[in-house]
Amino acid sequence: MKITDLKCAVLGRNPVIRIKTDEGIEGIGQAEYAKENMKWLFLHYRDAIIGMDPTDVERVMQRIRRLGAFKPWGAGVSSIEMALWDIAGKAAGVPVYKLLGGKVRDRVRVYNGNVQRTMTSFNPEDFAEEARWMKSQPENFSIVKQAISFHTMMPREVPDYFYGEIETGPRSPRTGVMTERGMKHTIACVEAMKDVLGDEVGLALDCGPGFYPNDALKFAKALEHLNVMWLEDMITGDYTPYVLADLYREVTPYTTTPIHTGEQIYLRQNFMDLIEKRAVNIVGPDFADVGGIAELKWITEYADLHGISMAPHGRFDGLFGLAAQVQVAATLPKNYIAFEYTTGDPDWWYDIVEGLPDPIVKDSHIEVWDAPGLGVTFDVEAAKRHLRKEDSDFFD
């Protein structure tokens, strides 16, 4: 079998790739919608993989893996890897999880960092109401994640929140030393959420990046009595193209509150410092940025050897991304906690993708399905209605 073409379209806001072969088997890969304007990146790899056998996944990946980088630049490599596994599973007539070593669980836990409303006010009562709303959702999530502090507009909206300048514009960094008032306000918001969630629903917090290590430790220790699931990306994260494991080591060993990071990191090699220095308690790569699902599995296994847990990121990875997460999560070792549930956005995505269970989530879990490849496909005629004019030949 040989790869004959790679196409890319933007459906809604998600870049989607389609790898074609000379045997008529095709694979689909999807990236998060934050890469809406990066179609060129996915097509960049086309000529490098034409003519290769897509079922030799690692051989193809060795050719292109070095051409990616930290988020957002690993998305092209990662989506290609996803599509290759889809083809390999279809060619073998088995679900992808069989090719990754087989299942260790029949259903996979997800956490909610996505089924949320946009917050415009950042007082304790606002966070309590949002926690109440998330707790009431039909998915019955066992873990919810809430953005707080530097991962929100709190530094801008809460007076005297930190000793720093407010920067404006897309993805502007929000970082600085927190005031006493800012620290107390943030702690009060977490306490308000825990009052609502109790011990029935775990609370994870997406915190930055933006904290300096001293504030990160102060915040983590102040929350120890609340038993939160984790504090995510306090020092680095999102679009920071580096790791800074030694700074995390100034926090993690000195608190019982679990510390989490990793969504922006590309490739296993760049997790080595975090894992080998035990700089965090939990790692959270996004398969759609880290280099793919096999890369995620390798990192999980290596983390497990060092007593570190895994809670993968994936909020915006779409419905094909959801399918890929289910396939790899079924195979992960016991350090796996849950992956971040992703949804179709806009809602018409649910009309153009076939093969997902209905409902998708029951009691915070997704049953692992057994269809070949990723197990989900396009309703092509329905999907064509949502193609942009410049992508009209995507399914040809």
Domain boundaries in the chain?
3-94+379-391, 99-372
| Residues forming a β-bridge with 184 | none
Q: What is the pLDDT of residue 238?
A: 92
**In a 3-state reduction of DSSP, which class is residue 92?**
helix
215-251 b/e (C-beta count within 10 Å ≥ 16 → b): bbbbbbebbeebebbbbbbbbbbbebeebbbebbbbb
First to last CA, the chain: 19
pTM (global) more than 0.95: yes
Return the CATH fold of 3-94+379-391. Enolase-like; domain 1 (3.30.390)
Q: What is the pLDDT of residue 139?
A: 98
Listed in sequence order, the residues at least 6 apart from 205 whose beta carbon sits closer than 8 Å to its beta carbon are: 145, 146, 147, 148, 149, 190, 228, 230, 231, 232
Q: DSSP character for 67?
A: G
Q: What is the pLDDT of residue 98?
A: 98
**Separation of alpha carbons 34 and 32, rounded Å:** 5
| Residues forming a β-bridge with 231 | 205, 259
Q: What is the pLDDT of residue 47?
A: 98
Q: DSSP character for 179?
A: P
Pairing verdict, β 339-340 and 230-232 = unpaired
| Residues forming a β-bridge with 29 | 17
| Residue 242 tokens, joined | 């580096």
Domain at 99-372: CATH code: 3.20.20.120
Q: What is the pLDDT of residue 52?
A: 98
Of 289, 384, 298, 376, nearest in space to 333 by CA: 298
- 106 and 331 in contact (C-beta within 8 Å)? no
Q: What is the pLDDT of residue 173?
A: 77
Listed in sequence order, the residues at least 6 apart from 176 whose beta carbon sits closer than 8 Å to its beta carbon are: 155, 162, 163, 164, 165, 210, 212
Q: What is the pLDDT of residue 227?
A: 98
pLDDT tens for the 396 residues of the chain, in order: 999 999 999 999 999 999 999 999 999 999 999 999 999 999 999 999 999 999 999 999 999 999 999 999 999 999 999 999 999 999 999 999 999 999 999 999 999 999 999 999 999 999 999 999 999 999 999 999 999 999 999 999 999 999 988 887 777 778 999 999 999 999 999 999 999 999 999 999 999 999 999 999 999 999 999 999 999 999 999 999 999 999 999 999 999 999 999 999 999 999 999 999 999 999 999 999 999 999 999 999 999 999 999 999 999 999 999 999 999 999 999 999 999 999 999 999 999 999 999 999 999 999 999 999 999 999 999 999 999 999 999 999
- 179 and 374 in contact (C-beta within 8 Å)? no
Listed in sequence order, the residues at least 6 apart from 97 whose beta carbon sits closer than 8 Å to its beta carbon are: 103, 327, 328, 330, 331, 368
- 162 and 177 in contact (C-beta within 8 Å)? yes
Q: What is the pLDDT of residue 165?
A: 86
**Separation of alpha carbons 240 and 341, rounded Å:** 23
- 54 and 1 in contact (C-beta within 8 Å)? yes
User: Could you give the residue ranges of the DSSP H alpha helices within the chain?
Assistant: 39-43, 46-49, 57-64, 75-92, 96-99, 124-135, 154-157, 180-197, 213-222, 245-248, 272-276, 287-290, 293-305, 318-329, 349-352, 380-384
Of 29, 86, 21, 92, nearest in space to 373 by CA: 86
Q: What is the pLDDT of residue 168?
A: 78
